[in-house]
Amino acid sequence: MKSILCFGDSNTYGYKPDGSGRFDENTRWTGVLSSMLAPYDYRIYEEGLVGRTTVFEDATRIGRNGSKLLPVLLESHSPIDAVTVMLGTNDCKAINKASPKVITRGLEVLIKQIKSFDSKIKILVISPILLGEKVFLENYDPEFNEQSVHTSKELKAYFRRLAEEYDCMFLAASDVAKPSEIDQEHMDENSHKKLADHVFNKLQGSLFQAG
């Protein structure tokens, strides 16, 4: 059996927009993808974590710096045939003061870690969904500000160029999914399903033949 590591933040974890916990495995996109891939003898390792960044630390929560954990996960789940990386949203938090270029450099660190571990691993870079226009307002998420929203809109172009530079597959989650109106930040059930469908199609073209 072949395996795919899905590395991401709360939208890979499947955090519900209403804050009531995690979508079940039949709803979150990694779980839906797992069911779609099972007939092709692939399994998914779900490694989504709320608050995860590419390379930034979180003073209030341990283990959120993705670059510090990814090498461990690559080793613990080895052998791995492919890795999907969907990060960048939490890098946009106001406290990080990070430009799209800096966030992209963080993603580059992760890509290099994967290639250094095993150059044969296929990598799918997924630029994240956009932050909602009201995410920084009262009753939503005060960790973001207005600049965070603008930065999230620029990641697609930066991430696409980086994926091309390192010969990675690329998918813009913002093209197929969006944040819920409830919290302006996390995907609802419909967006999880759409993202799973598009990730499947992207992987299908690179990893295996349908039918």
Q: Which is it for the CA torsion 18, 127, 102, 115, positive or negative?
A: positive
pLDDT digits (tens, 9 = 90+) for 1-23: 999 999 999 999 999 999 999 99
Q: How many CA atoms lie within 13 A of 63 on its CB side?
A: 11
> Alpha helices of 14-134 — where are they, by DSSP H?
29-37, 66-76, 100-117
pLDDT digits (tens, 9 = 90+) for 187-206: 999 999 999 999 999 999 88
Mean pLDDT of 170-191: 98
Q: Give the domain ranges of the chain.
A: 2-207
What is the rounded radius of gyration, in angstroms, for the C-alpha atoms of the chain?
A: 16
> Distance of CA 69 to CAs 7, 8, 99, 101, Å?
10, 11, 23, 22
Instruction: Write the CATH number of the domain with boundaries 2-207.
Output: 3.40.50.1110
